[in-house]
Structure 1
């Protein structure tokens, strides 16, 4: 083991839409977690690895803790709490452009009893002026006991490296946990499914986001280097299928184009994407269908 090498796990927590996935992507330097303006977009724990000469920070991106209305919601909350109990550092994300609310106080109370070191991360600082930011930092100080408070902007990159320095400082001495160059341990087909889901979430009506699931059925690479992907987008009702398809399937074509470009960036080559929309009635409440869809 390299002398004085530090390695460990960290995660960002906060109410939905506090900027956790955007921050994870900014720190890892590559898109490993999908982002959307819709709350509760994240459904899996995705690990992103930050390599430094003297340390390795493994970021676990988790769903936002929320009041569950379905079996899927309950499972996502269980996933969040299981992750919290296993990490070394927790970054509590508090958006600079919003007042501290009941949800923030609830989560602060939930994580206070854990063994992890808690760092307060004031996100989205690019959206406020210095005066407003100073007020937010004062309010965060009154919220609880934190090892550090770091204001950051994932969009402008401001203070991102400072935040990594702070989180690494609280990691235990440990040998390297992941091989050099590995940015995520998420299987490629799961990342592909997530990129398709992100494209499908773009611009849909508010009632739809949680009803969309994606399953990649088959991936194979031809001798020419073309990657062929066959995937199904699942919704819960025929009326939702019509929304995803759009007029003369125009919306689905747009989803396919956006997803294909994102997957080409992921695999570093040409992609053929075959998408179908299927109805799986009330899948969020059905244990058998949840299992099939990977939850």
Structure 2
């Protein structure tokens, strides 16, 4: 587990209402273990979906990310191409997130339905990589040469047995956000997708930044995996969703509160105890005393 730098502590486990390009300038250099972000794709006419200037974004990303940190960005369609071409030096590969629900029904007679999004991975040096193994049936790999058969120095051919564990492919399946409960944001990502990616590219106690955190799914995911988070949300031009007023700073706060209250003590002990988390505990104590 990393020792937390004093300079970064005021930012940890806190949600900031700000323009991310400005707020990120306040973060110490090489202080972030993972950037996990669902950037605006620019695929709709909504003001909130305007693409952030990528050259300015990369300037801050590359300054604040650790040399072995991972920058993991969701994308789709033409935005995937734009994102990759904006930084070919550090682009490495992408995951394909297969979703449980398709979209693009209005064009279904002209185009195939869309049932996936991309997750682009960038880094300077090899980051933490914890492959999320899945169970399968054990199988015989066949006869392999140069395998020890039990006797010291015996390199004769031998049958090799698999334990059934499978390495992940670059296609991963997760249900969409509505399967997890209430949806607060038009492009809300599932918490389980965030948890998978966070487990893959970080260790417990690491710091995850989401600089356009929306309704906070990736912040919740970080907490559930025993990681620290920093959330930034501009909170503009998305005043109404599903015909009701929405304040995404309040939504993030509510979801962080609900997650923190049900987090086990082991995870709590790993996460830095920020002013936000202290205020949640204090509010809970007040509520409990009033109910006695």
> TM exceeds 0.5?
no
**1 or 2, which has the higher helix percentage?**
1
Q: TM-score, normalised by structure 1?
A: 0.32
**Computing the radius of gyration over CA atoms, which structure comes out larger, 1 or 2?**
2
Greater length-normalized contact order (CA 8 Å, ≥ 6 residues apart): 2
